[in-house]
């Protein structure tokens, strides 16, 4: 198994990988733990999903290249995953490949509704609410953002702008 990735989200981690090109490749077994994983599946064994191997839980057994582990905690728990390739004879890769991720809820807005304001056509723009959007590892690229206005707020709305941290308009 190579090219492993772990993309954390709200109470979940999306895992991706590349399977070996070996002719005798059978499947991948993924273990999860909240500490570095030293557990290894026993040669010839066929564990079931949600069973344990040592202190780790088996989360995936198949030959795909993606899996989303759900139902995780957003309370600062780092999850470790170790991927093991299994061949048609029941042999596992001896060490596997490990990744980790920290799921987190992305909260936009400051949680406080803005006060009622009076807007007059031609006046300068009025900031009604602001939020900071950042990815969990601070390096991912945000490719889309959807802004949904509450019912009844859009009649007469002329402009919604998105600005960067320097105040320059990037959309709107």
* Distance of alpha carbon 74 from alpha carbon 104, whole angstroms: 5
Q: For residues 80 and 35, is the Cβ–Cβ distance under 8 A?
A: yes
Q: At 142, list the tokens.
A: 């945000």
171 pLDDT tier (thresholds 50, 70, 90): low
- Predicted confidence at residue 81, as pLDDT, reads 97
Q: What residue has token string 């109470």?
A: 11
What is the pTM (predicted TM-score) of this model? 0.64
pLDDT tens string 138-161: 555 565 555 565 666 656 555 566
* Distance of alpha carbon 111 from alpha carbon 62, whole angstroms: 42
Q: For residues 103 and 9, is the Cβ–Cβ distance under 8 A?
A: yes
More confident residue, 163 or 139: 163
- Predicted confidence at residue 104, as pLDDT, reads 80
The number of helices, as runs of H, and strands, as runs of E, in the chain is 0, 10
- Predicted confidence at residue 128, as pLDDT, reads 54
Per-residue 3-state assignment (H helix, E strand, C coil) for 45-67: CCCCCCCEECCEEEEEEECCCEE
- Mean confidence (pLDDT) of the chain: 80
pLDDT tens string 37-63: 999 999 999 999 999 999 999 999 999
pLDDT tens string 127-142: 555 555 555 555 555 6
Residue 82 half-sphere exposure toward CB, CA atoms < 13 A: 23
């Amino acid at each position: 198994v190579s090219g492993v990735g772990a993309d954390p989200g709200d109470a979940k981690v999306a895992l991706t990988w590349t399977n070996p090109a070996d002719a005798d490749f059978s499947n991948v077994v993924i273990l999860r733990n909240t500490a570095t994983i030293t557990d290894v599946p026993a040669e010839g064994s066929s564990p079931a999903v949600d069973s344990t191997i040592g202190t780790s839980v088996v989360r995936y057994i198949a030959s795909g290249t993606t899996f989303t582990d759900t139902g995780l905690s957003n309370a600062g728990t780092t999850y470790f995953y170790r991927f093991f390739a299994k061949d048609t004879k029941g042999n596992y890769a001896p060490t596997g490949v490990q990744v980790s991720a920290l799921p987190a809820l992305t909260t936009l807005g400051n949680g406080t509704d803005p006060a009622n304001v009076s807007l007059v056509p031609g006046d300068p723009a009025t900031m009604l609410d602001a939020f900071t959007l950042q990815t969990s590892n601070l390096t991912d690229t945000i490719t889309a953002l959807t802004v949904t206005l509450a019912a009844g707020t859009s009649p007469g709305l002329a402009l919604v702008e998105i600005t960067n941290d320097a105040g320059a308009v990037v959309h709107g």
